[in-house]
Chain A
Amino acid sequence: MEHFQVQGKVNRKAGGHRHQAITGVNASGNLEVLVERVLPDHECEVNVTTAVHGFRAIWEAVIEEFFKRGAPGGLRFWINDGGAHPDTVSLRLMQSVRLMEIES
């Protein structure tokens, strides 16, 4: 298992009022994302636990792009990864932000 954290300043605060959400599954080629609204409005943090070693640079690129493109201000993410491709990671992150925007 490899663990690491990526933090950043983001421009846009996440919409909605939901406190937390969970999406995806920790299965082969997939990932599980737990997201909670616990940070200041313009901060974001992603904690990654992955079964696959050696892809930290790509993870950081994916997450930094997400900070720019998405609206994840105020959110902390916990990722349990089962070897998902970067495109699946991006999609799950976007989906988890959307889940926080809509009422549960």
Chain B
Amino acid sequence: MDGTSNQAVAKPDRHCDVRDWQKQRSARHDRLAAGSRFASGKMVSPENAKALLEAVIRPGDRVCLEGDNQKQADFLAEVLADVDPSRIHDLHIVQSGVVLQAHLDLFERGIARKLDFSYSGPQGAGIARALAAGKIELGAIHTYIELFARYFMDLTPHVALIAGVQADRDGNLYTGPNTEDTPTIVEATAFKSGIVIAQVNEVVDKVPRVDIPGDLVDFVVKSEKPFYVEPLFTRDPANITENQILMGMMAIKGIYAEYGVKRLNHGIGFPTAAIELLLPTYGERLGLKGKIATHWALNPHPTLIPAIESGWVEQVHSFGSEVGMDGYMSARSDVFFTGHDGTLRSNRMICQAAGLYACDMFIGSSLQIDLAGNSSTVTPGRIAGFGGAPNMGSDAHGRRHLSAPWLKAGREASGGDSKLTRGRKLVVQILETFGEKMKPNFVETLDSVKMAEELNFDLAPVMIYGDDVTHIVTEEGIANLLLCRSQAEREQAIRGVAGFTDVGRKRDHKAVEALRQRGVIRRPEDFGIDPLDANRQLLAAHSIADLVTWSGGLYQPPSKFRNW
């Protein structure tokens, strides 16, 4: 018993007007009633889609128009961009990807005003222009998982416009291999009295599996064409360079094998595609099968097919799907997460959590790295957003479970072996010292700093902060930043692998040599790598056609990747 139990409890003053606690629910009923005039049950014809949106959406609403770096609710995006701006305006768009022209049209036409997003990719330049012209009021640029988190805090959508493969007449949705963001968006919207409208490729009597229960879906529009999916993760082996192969060999030997990394995430670039294709050849030669790279948080990269077929890969969980990979994944359900219907189930929110807490390593490319190891993909005039890389490429301070690579990295960083030393995730940046057109990838100051000044951002966008980066791999060697004991050492370690860029040429040769003696910097020759092995013959596949062959014809690449 506490000391206050006998005292009268002061009651809040209820004398004022009885508060209405059901405003959101009543608003939902109003919206549903207004929308129902254009529906038959839950079904809405494409011709009525615009009238539906105009009836259901209110000025100032937070709207999530589903789209990320892969799938797009493109039909609903075009319909929304076509509504009457005198009826629907000042929307606050809260969505993963600003990717389609229609997304920008919303702001150009005054239908939307405020934007919170995560990724922009192809519309990066358009967003920068719209920001500079004052057409977009920017909330923030998030990572995927951050934006999803805010859906449940202060950015809960009033209306969600989502994409599915099939619906039945009760609104049950099959979102299929490209399930991606849908469950998260629907969870936030439907359970906070919002309205969920789905575009689907077809309406069927019975869906093959229920990804989204019909109870959570208010209206279904059959789209005139299937929703768009970008094949963002397809890398043609024909475009992998010899230096990328050299970097891949060093990474496998100097990081994967050295730390015994089994659980990992790969970025999207060519250097990591090279590593995927080196596992069954170079990795096999080193006797590493089963010892590294067995469990993945990864989109279904076609370049992983040879490693899967060679028995390297135990398991893959995916953020999304990849065009052409669906049949292959259905046939490899021991490796991929599939429904009882047999097709892939992806889930971006959950895969991001897996990448953050269950992976021992992230390795990915970047466009620019500065002297502190900060990296950015901002190039002049373009705002690309963040997507998932900052979460994959960061040490999760909430992690508590142990693994050998995590402990080893933590002990290297602390220089000791105390019972209170926390582990570290390996965060590896892998890139050639020069990019396209001799643009140096190592710089004194990131372009994003200048962009932040021009656009009056309080903070320059940084993809991966230097203090999270543990290794930098270039064709010149590997810099192990865990072993650096001062800012000055870090800088020389970075300069020491920056090749013939200005940053690299301004190195202190003595300091770099001392770092090499300590094993902070290691060169290809230190790993016993023969430069003649840096040859395309070492890749398990030399072309997209080879990947198709490896898959036994199950991988069906989109036409833009077919040259036969």
Q: Which residues of A contact B (CB under 8 A)?
A: 55, 58, 61-62, 65, 85-88, 90-91, 94-95, 98-99, 102
Contacts and interface: CB of A to CB of B under 8 A. Distances in A.
Interface stretch (B422-430, B526-534, B540-548): B526-534
Nearest to B245: A91
Nearest to A52: B438
A58 B242 contact: no
Given A86-B499, A88-B241, A95-B531, 17 more contacts: A62-B500, A85-B432, A85-B434, A85-B438, A86-B434, A87-B474, A87-B499, A87-B500, A88-B242, A90-B499, A90-B500, A91-B242, A91-B243, A91-B534, A94-B531, A98-B532, A99-B532
B505 interface: yes
Contacts of A95: 531-532, 534
A27 B225 CA distance: 43
A87 B476 contact: yes
10 closest residue pairs by CB, A with B: A86-B500, A94-B531, A87-B475, A85-B434, A95-B531, A98-B532, A87-B243, A58-B500, A87-B499, A98-B531
A85 B244 CA distance: 13
Interface residues of B, number: 18
B363 to A, nearest CB: 19
B463 interface: no
Chain A contact residues, majority secondary structure = helix
Contacts of A55: 438
B534 A98 contact: no
Contacts of A87: 243, 432-434, 474-476, 499-500
Contacts of A91: 242-243, 246, 475, 531, 534
B532 A90 contact: no
Contacts of B433: 85-87
B245 to A, nearest CB: 10
A100 B434 CA distance: 28
A104 B400 CA distance: 56
A86 B433 CA distance: 9
A94 B530 CA distance: 9
Nearest to A86: B500
Max count, chain B CB within 10 A of own CB: residue among A58, A65, A85, A91: A85
28 contacts: A55-B438, A61-B505, A62-B500, A65-B500, A85-B432, A85-B433, A85-B434, A85-B438, A86-B434, A86-B499, A86-B500, A87-B432, A87-B433, A87-B475, A87-B500, A88-B241, A88-B242, A88-B243, A90-B475, A90-B499, A91-B242, A91-B246, A91-B475, A91-B534, A94-B531, A95-B531, A98-B532, A99-B532
